[in-house]
Amino acid sequence: MTRSVDLNADMGEGFGPWTMGDDEGLLDIVTSVNVACGMHAGDWDVMERTFASASARNLGLGAHPGFPDLQGFGRRRIDLAAASIGNLVAYQVGAARGIAAKTGSEIRHVKLHGALANMASEDEALARVCYEAALAVAPEIIVMVMAGTAQQSAAAALGCRVACEIFADRAYTDDATLVDRTEPGAVIRAPQRAARRVVDMIEAGAILSESGKRIPTRIDTVCLHGDTPAAVSMARAVREGLAAAGIGLAPFPGTPL
Amino acid sequence: MTRSVDLNADMGEGFGPWTMGDDEGLLDIVTSVNVACGMHAGDWDVMERTFASASARNLGLGAHPGFPDLQGFGRRRIDLAAASIGNLVAYQVGAARGIAAKTGSEIRHVKLHGALANMASEDEALARVCYEAALAVAPEIIVMVMAGTAQQSAAAALGCRVACEIFADRAYTDDATLVDRTEPGAVIRAPQRAARRVVDMIEAGAILSESGKRIPTRIDTVCLHGDTPAAVSMARAVREGLAAAGIGLAPFPGTPL
Amino acid sequence: MTRSVDLNADMGEGFGPWTMGDDEGLLDIVTSVNVACGMHAGDWDVMERTFASASARNLGLGAHPGFPDLQGFGRRRIDLAAASIGNLVAYQVGAARGIAAKTGSEIRHVKLHGALANMASEDEALARVCYEAALAVAPEIIVMVMAGTAQQSAAAALGCRVACEIFADRAYTDDATLVDRTEPGAVIRAPQRAARRVVDMIEAGAILSESGKRIPTRIDTVCLHGDTPAAVSMARAVREGLAAAGIGLAPFPGTPL
Amino acid sequence: MTRSVDLNADMGEGFGPWTMGDDEGLLDIVTSVNVACGMHAGDWDVMERTFASASARNLGLGAHPGFPDLQGFGRRRIDLAAASIGNLVAYQVGAARGIAAKTGSEIRHVKLHGALANMASEDEALARVCYEAALAVAPEIIVMVMAGTAQQSAAAALGCRVACEIFADRAYTDDATLVDRTEPGAVIRAPQRAARRVVDMIEAGAILSESGKRIPTRIDTVCLHGDTPAAVSMARAVREGLAAAGIGLAPFPGTPL
């Protein structure tokens, strides 16, 4: 039996004249991209360029909705009502589909960004609101969830298409959420260590937390961040580590849980 | 032969806590609505409420994209590159489709707003960029054009579905564009006078300019503005004027030109 | 001895084409105004008009900084770092001083808005960050605080000029904060009842909570809200109630606590 | 007689997570900085950091107001009414003074940005509106003008403190405005060539246009752009070129014209 996994990265995180990360470098490493939708990053032009580049390489295209907070890059919690969050997700998924269509491509998946993702990973009802909104816009869309969290249980309950994601460069708590960025050790910066962890988790079929806890989960995709200077070398190390371990690369199939 | 015409109004022009116009009053008069898409007015929540209200009455739903300028309500010209304008339209049409889908409804037409509409009414290449963008997102969308302008010729050249629009309350120049709002007489405020003009133009099959020029055109829909205090009584007068003249009301069919 | 109190209201809460409340009606009732600074409401033009109108009536002018959230009207909590909040307050107080100067007038006080005000009423350190920022910009500025809360203790510790405020139309908890708007009874809508409460609190020299608790405090100013339809009649009732009770009207002196 | 000139650069052009240019590199080369005020770039945190860094080096601090257009970086013309532009400038100068005060420093000059600067360089009435607004906020502020343009005549007519500026890296038309960025040769990229031009213009006491025209003017400061990758080496070349030609560096005195 051959195992394979998808590699995804956030892209299109510039805005107007400002750029972030090495999108071109990552495009040759990943198999799926999550594109910011204009609220926490990205604008209609950045989105158009990013979808065009990614679809030219036959990558899986994703909408990456976040909070309306450019200055905070969508990483600050905002106390939005759940119904408003549902509308916010529908708006962004629709906008992403609009821009993708303009480039002759289609949105295949949706992944929540930043504080919105973290909140949904802790609150199944909120995750459900987000996913129902995305599915109302695009019934065949694959919901990318943070494996082991309330995001995953929400998607499982909906019976929709799902991709379970682990993070290459972020430490995990014992409830499968990410250690807060402001804490020491939250972000793993050594490429070899990140690569080793990813292979270990895929071989274990489980998330491995900082404390050593083993949280069993399906793993469909690995998130490689693109906004740090060393992102490309990190991504390459993970890709090489997977190859060395005999794990192939392929876009996630999106099978329901 | 029975003549009929559509009545359309801009709606969903609130933002956050701010409201504009009497949407509920107009919903019972018009047959189509043009809903702001979050750039010059409207937000994801206002859009959701507006699409839900309009689709509950079986009205034709339209996306109403404009410039990204809340403070100026999309009425100030911004020197955006044409390619960026295309992306901006695709973004907004996509977003509108997303929110409409969340309410179980569908976008049927697209109409440009404010300064963007005025620029496209003078510049066929720009109108084409806008309409191609909308059609890339939604190939069956009906393009609502200001009758007799470069908007109409752009849509005719594309061969797409079209609705030709006249304005009930705006004076016309001899090239079928609108007299600038800042000029005296640009906005007609007397309901009976507006109603009379609309019937005259439909019976003439032509736009009638301030100077008395007759500009022949197909007329599929009449725009009733919703942002003035007297909007509802104006709209009612036009509707009654049409009935008195034996002109029926029906959503535009969207036949290509 | 003659007692007197100031009446303040939030104003300039429009944005671009959108208006809110009856500023003109309130201007003839209050003695001080708190003007939104462009982040949760207000823009440079609305601010200019509001400062010009208020200074023509010799009212006390205040900056009313809030979170950067037009759609949420600054009423949603945003998880901003304290240092960033300090900068945000300095930015808005500076901008308000700029626009006021353009109208030939001066900012006399500062009052926090919405969610930012609520957070500062619960967190003395955060209140201090806000007030230190305002005082760095304008050392003589009078800090208007929600009487009895952490806002008041922060201002007392700074030794700055202070005005202690009670709300005419909001119910109080036992720790002198406002009952959340989403709870029943949080907003008092009967003008006579609001007027009676204000007189009672001034005569008691104390905030009177929903449960009947008496929280002694200096009372320098009474907040009249301007964003509800009935705001002007509410405001007039309070003003008349004060007169009937022999309590005069005068801008707060800003004496330190 | 010793000649000297000021070197200025735009700074603080990041926004939220996005950076632009090498501010730290430029801070050791220039004598004055122009700091974006949150409308076309910059936010309250970026402003605070930039003012703190620049004032620690005793540089002259400037407010750099622009159009409210982050995506377009203030480089797109927006058809704002003149009165609104005046308010917009007052808002930004006030905000900059607020943030500067928080860092214990003061704004010494104001310089218009991007499309607003270009419009004001062509339209003396518009330039006057901008400068009157800035002077209403800060009567002692030094107005930095594009030498030889309508900006300069507006400032001369006002009798205010002035600094006349030439650009090191931009080609000039025969009416002393900048060749449009979209035209070939508009931006000079060779550091030695830029340095040579600056020395030539200072020695000539004139702007030298592309066509070879000599436009006499006082020259108080030289603009070094900071948003291109090669900005620091360009800036260093100009500084060295000035030293080699015996021209000293000093902040502009701001003498009226």
What residue of B is the nearest CA neighbor of C43?
A: B71
The pLDDT tens digits of the residues spanning A190-220 come to 999 999 999 999 999 999 999 999 999 999 9
User: Would you place residue C228 in the very low, low, confident or very high pLDDT band (cuts 50, 70, 90)?
Assistant: confident
pTM above 0.95, yes or no: yes
B227 vs A188, residue with greater confidence = A188
Q: How many CB atoms lie within 10 A of CB B175?
A: 14
**Shortest distance, CA A73 to any CA of chain D (angstroms):** 7
Which residues are CB-neighbours of B41 under 8 A, at least 6 positions away?
A: B12, B13, B14, B15, B20, B66, B70, B73, B74, C17
Interface mutation vs chain D, best among B79, B87, B180, most D CBs within 10 Å: B79
Which helix (H) or strand (E) covers residue A52, if one does? helix A44-56
Interchain CB contact of C17 with B (< 8 Å): yes
CB–CB contact B88 A44 (8 Å): yes
Cβ contacts from B onto C, under 8 A: 35
For residue B73, the model assigns a pLDDT of 98
CATH-assigned architecture of domain B3-249: Alpha-Beta Barrel (3.20)
Return the partners of chain D (3 or more C-beta pairs < 8 Å): A, B, C
CB–CB contact D71 A14 (8 Å): no
B102-128 as b/e: b if 16+ CB within 10 A = bbebebbbbbbbbbbbbbbbebbebbb
Q: Could you give the CA distance from residue D234 to residue D67 in angstroms, rounded to a whole number?
A: 27
Report phi then psi at B224, rounded to 5. Answer: -110, 120
**Shortest distance, CA B90 to any CA of chain C (angstroms):** 23
For residue B230, the model assigns a pLDDT of 82
Which residues are CB-neighbours of C58 under 8 A, at least 6 positions away?
A: none
Q: How distant, in Å, are the alpha carbons of B48, C24, C54, C61, C99 from that of C18?
A: 19, 15, 19, 22, 20
Position B89 pLDDT exceeds 80: yes
**Shortest distance, CA D253 to any CA of chain C (angstroms):** 24
For residue D87, the model assigns a pLDDT of 98
Interchain CB contact of B20 with C (< 8 Å): yes
User: Would you place residue D3 in the very low, low, confident or very high pLDDT band (cuts 50, 70, 90)?
Assistant: confident
Which helix (H) or strand (E) covers residue A142, if one does? strand A142-146
For residues A126-135, average pLDDT: 98
Q: How distant, in Å, are the alpha carbons of A9, A146, A223, A242, D6 from that of A195?
A: 15, 18, 12, 7, 52
State chain D's mean pLDDT as an integer.
95
**Of residues A255, A236, A230, the one with CA closest to residue A198:** A236
Position B79 pLDDT exceeds 80: yes
For residue D150, the model assigns a pLDDT of 97
User: Would you place residue B249 in the very low, low, confident or very high pLDDT band (cuts 50, 70, 90)?
Assistant: very high
User: Would you place residue D1 in the very low, low, confident or very high pLDDT band (cuts 50, 70, 90)?
Assistant: very low
Q: Could you give the CA distance from residue B119 to residue A202 in angstroms, rounded to a whole number?
A: 56
Cβ contacts from A onto C, under 8 A: 24
For residues C128-145, average pLDDT: 98
Which residues of chain D neighbour C45 with C-beta distances below 8 Å? Answer: 83-84, 87
Which residues of chain B neighbour D77 with C-beta distances below 8 Å? Answer: 77-79
Q: Could you give the CA distance from residue A73 to residue D48 in angstroms, rounded to a whole number?
A: 19
Position A150 pLDDT exceeds 90: yes
CB–CB contact C19 B14 (8 Å): no
The DSSP annotation for D59-94 comes to PEEEEE---S-TTTTT-S-B---HHHHHHHHHHHHH
Q: Could you give the CA distance from residue C38 to residue C50 in angstroms, rounded to a whole number?
A: 12
For residues D142-170, average pLDDT: 97
The pLDDT tens digits of the residues spanning C21-54 come to 999 999 999 999 999 999 999 999 999 999 999 9
The DSSP annotation for D125-181 comes to HHHHHHHHHHHHH-TTPEEEEETTSHHHHHHHHHT-BEEEEEESSB-B-TTSPBPPT
Confirm whether the ipTM is greater than 0.85. Answer: yes
As a whole-number percent, the residues of chain C with pLDDT over 70 amount to: 99
Interchain CB contact of A76 with D (< 8 Å): no
The dihedral through the CA atoms of B81, B86, B87, B88 has a sign that is positive
Return the partners of chain B (3 or more C-beta pairs < 8 Å): A, C, D
Interface mutation vs chain C, best among D45, D91, D105, most C CBs within 10 Å: D91
Of A44, A86, A104, Cβ closest to residue B91: A44
Position A109 pLDDT exceeds 50: yes
The dihedral through the CA atoms of C130, C132, C137, C141 has a sign that is positive
* Geometric angle at alpha carbon D74, from D73 and D75, rounded to 5°: 90
Q: Are D66 and D39 in contact (CB under 8 A)?
A: yes
For residues C164-178, average pLDDT: 94
Looking up tokens 């002393």 gives D176
**Of residues A52, A66, A57, A56, the one with CA closest to residue A10:** A66
Of D88, D98, D137, Cβ closest to residue C91: D98
Q: How many CB atoms lie within 10 A of CB C38?
A: 27
Which residues of chain B neighbour C20 with C-beta distances below 8 Å? Answer: 17-18
Position B231 pLDDT exceeds 90: no
For residue B1, the model assigns a pLDDT of 47
Scanning A219-248 for CB atoms below 8 A from D yields 227
The dihedral through the CA atoms of C84, C85, C87, C92 has a sign that is positive
Give chain C's radius of gyration (CA, Å).
17
Interface mutation vs chain D, best among A39, A40, A69, A71, most D CBs within 10 Å: A71
Which residues of chain D neighbour C38 with C-beta distances below 8 Å? Answer: 91
The pLDDT tens digits of the residues spanning A19-64 come to 999 999 999 999 999 999 999 999 999 999 999 999 999 999 999 9
Position A118 pLDDT exceeds 50: yes
Q: Could you give the CA distance from residue A129 to residue A81 in angstroms, rounded to a whole number?
A: 11
User: Would you place residue B43 in the very low, low, confident or very high pLDDT band (cuts 50, 70, 90)?
Assistant: very high
